[in-house]
Amino acid sequence: MSVELEWMLIDDLQLPKEAIEILRNRGISKLNPPQTEAVKKGLLDGNRLLLTSPTGSGKTLIAELGMISFLLKKGGKAVYVTPLRALTNEKYTTFKDWEKIGFKVAMTSGDYDTDDAWLKNYDIIVTTYEKLDSLWRHRPNWLNEVNYFVLDELHYLNDPERGPVVESVAIRAKRKNLLALSATISNYKQIGKWLNAEAVATNWRPVPLIEGVMYPEKKKKKEYTVIFKDNTTKKVIGDDPIIAYTLDSLSRNGQVLVFRNSRRMAESTAYKIANYMNFINLDEKGLAEVVKQLDDIEEGGSNEKEELKSLISKGIAYHHAGLSKSLRDVIEEAFRQRKIKVIVATPTLAAGVNLPARTVIIGDIYRFNKRIAGFQEEIPVMEYKQMSGRAGRPGYDDIGEAIIIVRDKENADRVFKKYILSSVEPIESKLGSERAFYTFLLGLLSAEGDMSEKELAKFAYESLLPRSLVDIYFDRAINWLTDHSFIKEQGDILTLTNFGKRVADLYINPFTADIVRKGLEDHKSACDIAYFHLLAYTPDGPLVSVSSNEEEELTEIVEDLDCELLIDEPYEEDEQSLYINALKVALIIKDWIEEVDEDTILGKYNIGSGDLRNIVETMDWLTYSAYQLSKELKLEDHYDKLRILNSRVKDGIKEELLELVQISGIGRKRARLLYNNGIKGLGDVIMNPEKVKSLLGSKLGEKVVQEAARLLNRFH
C-alpha cells in the first residue's frame, strides 16, 4: 500500500511556463508524495489511474494536472464529476485559475431536462454524477468531444442511494480516458482492474493522524481515559467526555468538529458545550460580524437564526441538513477563518466540503435505522474514516486527532479493532435492486440509442454486479419495461417508446413514472393536495420525519379532506408510512403555494429551512415531470393544472403573482408587496416606476422596472 516518500519540484514537470506560474501563485513549489507517485505512473501522459490517498493529500491538484496536460496534448474537453453540488462549486472556483492559460471553465448541476448546449464553448466542465448521467441521456454533440473524465469521491459507489448513478457514469466514462480519486477504497486493485486503470495507493497525509478511543473510568467519576493507536494513553477530566475533550483541544489552540448521529443530538450537544466557552479566548469582533451576516440571509427561519446567533457569539455552531444552505455556508466560512472554534455536526458534513479541524470527536458509533429491530446499527468503517479524515489542518496543526467516545472499557477494545485497526468495507455494486437496475437500463438505452438485447447486456456485464445477478435482473427488467410501455422490441432491437424516452430525459425513476401515469389515467382532474400527495408517494418523493403524534393527526386530516386522493390507502405497514409521509409533504407544499409564512411552516411541521428548501426543489422537479408526462400521454384534464402548480411551487405563490415573479430579484415576499399595492403585472410595473421604487428602494426598483420592460418586449 505504501510508497516511498518522494517529492518532485514543479519545475521538473513537462508543463508550459504559464501553467507552472499558476501553481507558484498558489504557493506550490513541489509535489507531495501522492502527487509525485501519480506523475511517475504517467498522469501527465494521459495514463488511466485510480488514486486512493487520505483526505487532504492533494488529490484535486492531481486531477488538475491530469486534465491540463491531456487538453494541452490532445485537445477536446475534460469533465470533472463530484457527488455533491457544494463540491462542484468548490472545484469550479479552484479550476477558474486555468482560464489564465486559455481553458474556459464552466459548471452545471440541477436542471435535468436540458442538454446544456451552451457548454460546447467550454473546455473544463465541473458537474455532479446525476447531472452528467442526465446529460448523456439528452445526447448533446459537445459531450462527444469529452475524452477525459475525472471521477471524484469514487467510494460513493458504496452509497445505497447514490451508488447506482456513480456506477452507471463510471461504466460509460471508462470507455474514454479517466482518472478516479478516492480517500478510502480497500479493494482498490479490483476496482482499478474494473476501470482498466492502474491503482496507485498511498497512506501519506500532510498532517499525521492520531486515532484513539475514549471511555469513562469506572472508579473515578468525571475521569476519562483515551487509548491511542500507538498504545499511549491520556487522562481527561470533565463533566462529560465530549465536552472534556473539546475543551482539552481548545486549550491547545485546536479547532474541533464533533459528530453526533442525529440533528437533535447535534443541537443539544452544541448548547451544552456553549456553557463552557466563556473560558476560551475568542475573536469577539469577528464573531459579531458572523452574527450580523445571519441577519442579511433571506433563507432560514427566524428561530434557527436566533438559536445560531446565541451559539456563534460563544464561538460554536451546529450544522446539519435541516439548516438552509446559506446558513451552513456562513458557519463553514467562519470555521475556516477560525472565528468559530467548534462545530457539532451530523455525519453529512464529513462527506461534503473541505473543512479540516485539529480534533474530530465521534460521539456515536450507532445510528438510527427504522428497518432494524431495536432501530440501532453501527456505522460502517467507511463512515468513520470519512469523519476522522477531517482531522488535522494543514498549515496550522502538526497532528490531527480522531477520538471515538464509547460507554466502557470493554466496548473500547472492540471499537478499537473494528474502526481503527481494520480497513474499510470493500466497494460493491449497488445496482442490485429492481429500482436501480431498471433505471440503469432505461438510462443506457436513452444515452446510447437503440440496441439489441445482446448489446445492452454487454453494458450491464460491465457493471460491478456479479454476472449471475445481472442475468436475473436483466430478464426481469426487459419484461417489466416492455409490459409497462417504456421500451418496445422491434425484431431483436430494443427501442424506447416516446413515453420511455420522456421518462429517461426527465431523469425520474421508471417506478415513479408508472405510479404517476396510473394515478393520472385513473382519475379526472384533481385538487392540489391530491397531485402533491401522488408525487410525494413515488420513489423520487422527498422524505420527512413523521412523529407518532403527527401520524394520528395526518390520518385524521385525510379523513376530513374534501378532496379525493389519487392513491388508494395501502395495507402494508411500509407503504402505509410512505402514504402518511407523502401527505405531510403535500400539506407542506400546499401551505407553501398559499404563501404561508416560512417561519409558520417550519414551526407547524417541525422541519428546518434546509428541509423546506429540499422539499420545494424536489416537488418543483416532480410537478414539472408530471406536467410533461401528462402532455406526452395527452391527459388534457391534468396538464394545465400541473403546469400552473409547477410554476407556483417554484416560488411559493398564489396564481395571481405568477407574472410578477418572472422579474429577476422578485420572490414571493416582494411580489406580494407589489401586488397588494396595486402593481399586479409587468405593465403596472412599467407604468408606475416611482411607486415601484418607493416600495422596493430606488436601486432595486430601477432594476425591476428595466427587467419588466425587457420581458414585455420579449413577449410581444
Residues 642-653 have a mean pLDDT of 95
Task: Provide the CATH number for the domain around residue 480.
Answer: 1.10.10.10
User: Considering the entire predicted model, what is its pTM?
Assistant: 0.92
Q: Summarize pLDDT for 408-450 with one digit per residue, the tens.
A: 888 899 999 999 998 999 999 999 999 999 999 999 999 999 9
Task: Provide the CATH number for the domain around residue 286.
Answer: 3.40.50.300
* Spatial contact of 79 and 150, defined as CB atoms under 8 Å apart: yes
Q: 699 in a domain, yes or no? A: yes
Q: Which of 643, 621, 645, 648 is nearest to 631 (CA)?
A: 643
Q: Are residues 262 and 179 in the same domain?
A: no
Q: 427 in a domain, yes or no? A: no
Q: Listing from the earlier edge strand, what are the strands of the sheet with 49-52?
A: 105-108, 124-128, 77-82, 146-151, 177-182, 49-52, 198-201
Q: Which sign, positive or negative, has the C-alpha torsion 322, 324, 327, 330?
A: positive
Q: Are residues 621 and 634 in the same domain?
A: yes
What angle (nearest 5°) sits at the alpha carbon of residue 324, between those of residues 82 and 167? Answer: 20
Q: Are residues 194 and 222 in the same domain?
A: no
Query: Tell me, what amino acid is at 288?
Result: A
Its domain, for residue 691, covers: 660-715
Q: Are residues 517 and 502 in the same domain?
A: no
**Exposure of 686 by Cβ count < 10 A (0-12 exposed, 13-18 middle, 19+ buried)?**
middle
Q: Are residues 141 and 256 in the same domain?
A: no
Cα pseudo-dihedral 666, 668, 670, 671, rounded to 10: 80
Q: 429 in a domain, yes or no? A: no
Q: Is 576 annotated as a binding residue?
A: no
Number of domains in the chain: 5
CA distance 74 to 44: 12
- DSSP E strands, 260-385: 316-319, 342-345, 359-362, 366-368, 376-378
> Which residues, other chains included, contact 608 with Cβ-Cβ below 8 Å and sequence gap of 6+?
263, 301, 304, 320, 321, 322, 323, 324, 602
Q: What is the pLDDT of residue 2?
A: 44
State the number of CA atoms in the 13 A half-sphere of 654 facing the CB: 10
Angle formed by the axes of helices 284-295 and 325-336, nearest 10°: 170
Residues 653-677 have a mean pLDDT of 94
Place of cell 483541544: 249
Burial per residue of 61-72, b for 16 or more beta-carbon CB atoms within 10 angstroms, e otherwise: bbbbbbbbbbbb
Q: Are residues 387 and 476 in the same domain?
A: no
Percent of the chain residues topping a pLDDT of 70: 98
Query: Tell me, what amino acid is at 193?
Result: K
Q: Are residues 453 and 416 in the same domain?
A: no
CA distance 579 to 584: 9
Q: Are residues 90 and 182 in the same domain?
A: yes
- DSSP E strands, 381-508: 400-405, 451-452, 487-490, 493-496
Q: 84 in a domain, yes or no? A: yes
Q: Summarize pLDDT for 230-268 with one digit per residue, the tens.
A: 889 999 999 899 999 999 999 999 999 999 999 999 999
> Which range has the worst mean pLDDT, 240-244, 558-562, 642-646, 701-705?
558-562
Domain end marker among 146, 166, 201: 201
Place of cell 506560474: 21
Task: Provide the CATH number for the domain around residue 613.
Answer: 1.10.3380.30
Q: Which of 70, 71, 69, 110 is nearest to 89 (CA)?
A: 110
Domain end marker among 457, 481, 506: 506
Q: Are residues 469 and 321 in the same domain?
A: no
Q: Summarize pLDDT for 190-219 with one digit per residue, the tens.
A: 999 999 999 999 989 999 999 999 999 888
Domain end marker among 420, 446, 473: 420
Q: Are residues 36 and 125 in the same domain?
A: yes
Task: Provide the CATH number for the domain around residue 691.
Answer: 1.10.150.20
Q: Which three cell numbers stand for residue 300?
A: 432560514
Q: 1 in a domain, yes or no? A: no
Q: Are residues 406 and 288 in the same domain?
A: yes
Q: Are residues 190 and 286 in the same domain?
A: no
Q: Which three cell numbers stand for residue 106?
A: 464552466
Q: 160 in a domain, yes or no? A: yes
Q: With bands split at pLDDT 50, 70 and 90, how would you rate the model's confidence at 371? A: low
Element (H, E) at 151: strand 146-151
Q: Summarize pLDDT for 483-513 with one digit per residue, the tens.
A: 999 999 988 899 999 999 999 999 999 999 9
